Structure 1
Amino acid sequence: MNGKDVSRVGLIINPIAGMGGRVALKGTDGVVEEAIKRGARPIAEELARLFLHELSHYGETWRVEFITGSDGLGEDVLRDFNFPYDVVRHRKVGYREILGVRIPDTTGEDTEELAARMAGTVDILVFAGGDGTARDVFKAVKRRIPILGIPTGVKMFSGVFAASPENAAKLLVEFLHGDARLVERDVMDLDEDAFRRDEVRPKHYGKALTPYVEILLQGAKEPTKTDEAEDVEATVEALAGELEDGIYFLGAGSTLKKLKDRLGIDGTLLGVDIVEIKNGKARILVKDAAEADLLRFTKEKPKVIVTVIGGLNFLFGRGNQQFSADVLRDIPKENITVVAAPSKVKNGFIRVYTGDSEVDGKLRGYIKVRVSPWMERMVKVI
């Protein structure tokens, strides 16, 4: 904080972040046109509005002044609110239209340029995007100022993201009050081309300064512990033998890939597969399904099997946006099976965020998590 009456907050929006999630592209870098062809629409501005709407409820924010990028980089959203703001016009931002969808013609270089210009003038830089945006922001500012991510991307494995846009607003208020301590959080990103080929190639870019309040900030991605691998194998084998005939939506991750292998199907590691079990035999109906594919089968009373993303503690909302609010709305909670290594639920809670309060509310409370062949643990969903 700068000790002045007015706190200057940087805001950068990556307008294409997250577009690849619901259409099973696992990211948006370099595939915007393909995402739109599959039916994707921009979501980053909508989620940034949720952040600003929540922030507007706090009386203390009268002293917030935003510094933002022009047009779709922040200005377009802030124009709809009463916060004072200045615009950094680093260049003329154009627009392009793809199959009737109009999006700002921006790149990661715009994020880097804006972040570098803001670094010496703001108390904290808030950005709306995913891991790629976090990487670009961190590259420009390093540890000169704190950064905080509004989660609008697909993966968001870095530890600099709030758990939701609304929590980002709450965390910013705590920071403005001086009640959020600054901690070092990992900035990570994956090779998205390799990710789409079911190859996980993470890269660590450094540790950023981020305001921290427990529950409001997510963790960073963690792998399953080596000493739990055999337990996971045994749990998956037991679960595979218990599945009844029907339609299943099998989620992403190494635990679910073990289940797919055990069922004898060529399922994806990092995508969602639609599987039918009939007379005890499994076959894939749709491999690497998008939201639209899942919606075609929701009337078939499907069962969902998912795992928890280690470190992030997310069940829905990170890396599996195919499970949208529209998909989950008609699926009873009792039709959702969660299987995870014990370390992934060690905090005693897991998260969901679909962007729909009614659907999230249905999922919250407690859910059974299969943690061994013979044991389930009741874990709170927040």
Structure 2
Amino acid sequence: MKKFRVGFIVNPIAGMGGRVALKGTDGVVEEAIRRGARPVAPEVARLFLSELKHYEEAESFEFITGPGPLGEEYLNEAGLHFDVIKHREVGYREVEGVKIPDTTAEDTKVLAREMLGKIDILVFAGGDGTARDVYSVVGKRVPILGVPTGVKMFSGVFAASPESAARLLIEVAHGKARLEERDVMDLDEDAFRRDEVRPKHYGKALTPVVELLIQGAKQPQKVDESETLEAIADAVTEEILNEDGIYFLGAGSTIKRVKDRLGINGTLLGVDVVEVKDGKARLLVKDAAEKDLLRFADKNPKIVVTVIGGLNFLFGRGNQQFSAEVLRKIPKENIIVVATPSKVENGIIRVYTGDKDVDEKLRGYIRVRVSPWMEKMVRVL
């Protein structure tokens, strides 16, 4: 195999806002930490490199990376070959007892610029914001691949998981992955936190693709399915009101219709905790964080969620409040999935909680309500 040169950039604060219901991390790191968030990207980067080490080809890869938490320390721990672009000294600061690096989007851009002409592919660990920063510099001059560590990850440049990213990189090295132009998208996080969806398309990046290893990009609801969606919402609402208990109602326009019919002031883009008693619904927690869900997890709650169109994710994209700790406590049969037919037309949906035992519990097949009177058995990967 000829020399395979890999750029590797880690956004060490990506994803911190997910479990604490901030729906992103841009500009709110301090608030995320105050709510109990801890860095997640470093562990995801380590998992990616640990998985990569299982392949003997990785020993011959030549990595170029940034200093310290931008990549150097993880490659050093993994024992892989690398050179460091020391564009500056990276310092640390402490917030509420949590030590975080003083990195910014500019670090990502500077490193990506320095790597151009020296690499065959640029791998980054981050979310949509990091993808946007990388793309703003490299365009289509070099393929890019995202190791998913963020909250939303609506762009089509991400592997399905850190493990999938490792496998995909091996396929690229062997020339077995095709290159496609994939959407780079990001949302206005301030608007997102106000329950407003304002997506913006930033362009199309070259991305290696192997089926089942790469995710799709977020897709809007099909207009011609709106009547089906309304009817599904009516049917699911009636079923909920007929069974007393605690419900965790997930994010998205599909579930928002159910919330509206229940008569609660629920969120469009967050998770709400609802109690149903004697045919009436009461909002207990609006825009719940992981810790809120854990408070009710021992009360045999039911989860009502939908599939993110295009991404085909049930858990692991945009709803990290449903963490492994939460899902471990809830039986699979207590998960109610509703989706229009187009969202499950390929017959598979994905989960990724970062916990292999929990992911394994959720895999297999799950019932998805695709019309008021019909359920479809869909494979969970």
Question: Which residue in 2 is equivalent to 1:259?
Answer: 258
Gaps of 5+ in 2: none
Q: Secondary structure at the match of 1:8?
A: strand
Pairs within 5 Å for 1:11-30: 11-30=8-27
The residue type equivalent to 1:8 in the other structure is R
Question: Which residue in 2 is equivalent to 1:326?
Answer: 325
Q: Residue 191 of structure 1 is aligned with which of 188, 193, 196? A: 188
User: Structure 1 residue 76: deviation in Å?
Assistant: 1.5
Indicate the larger mover: 60-69 or 346-355.
Answer: 60-69
Pairs within 5 Å for 1:1-382: 5-243=2-240, 244-382=243-381
TM value normalised by structure 2:
0.99
The residue type equivalent to 2:250 in the other structure is G
1:250-271 CA deviation, whole Å, 9 max, x = no partner?
0000000000001000000000
User: Structure 1 residue 79: deviation in Å?
Assistant: 1.4
1:290-347 CA deviation, whole Å, 9 max, x = no partner?
0000000001000000000000000000000000000000100000000001000011
Gaps of 5+ in 1: none
Query: Aligned equivalents of 2:10 and 2:210: distance in 1?
Result: 23
The residue type equivalent to 1:133 in the other structure is T
- Runs of 4 or more off by more than 6 Å in structure 1? none
User: Structure 1 residue 353: deviation in Å?
Assistant: 0.2
Query: Aligned equivalents of 1:223 and 1:282: distance in 2?
Result: 29
The residue type equivalent to 1:326 in the other structure is E
User: Structure 1 residue 69: deviation in Å?
Assistant: 0.4
Query: Aligned equivalents of 1:296 and 1:113: distance in 2?
Result: 43
Total equivalences in the alignment: 379
1:26-73 CA deviation, whole Å, 9 max, x = no partner?
000000000000000000010011100110001112210110000110
The residue type equivalent to 1:338 in the other structure is V
TM value normalised by structure 1:
0.99
Query: Aligned equivalents of 1:157 and 1:230: distance in 2?
Result: 25
User: Structure 1 residue 121: deviation in Å?
Assistant: 0.5
Query: Aligned equivalents of 2:98 and 2:232: distance in 1?
Result: 45
The residue type equivalent to 2:289 in the other structure is A
1:202-225 CA deviation, whole Å, 9 max, x = no partner?
000000000000000000000110
The residue type equivalent to 1:28 in the other structure is T
Q: Secondary structure at the match of 1:318?
A: coil
Q: Secondary structure at the match of 1:368?
A: strand
Query: Aligned equivalents of 1:160 and 1:273: distance in 2?
Result: 30
Q: Secondary structure at the match of 1:261?
A: helix
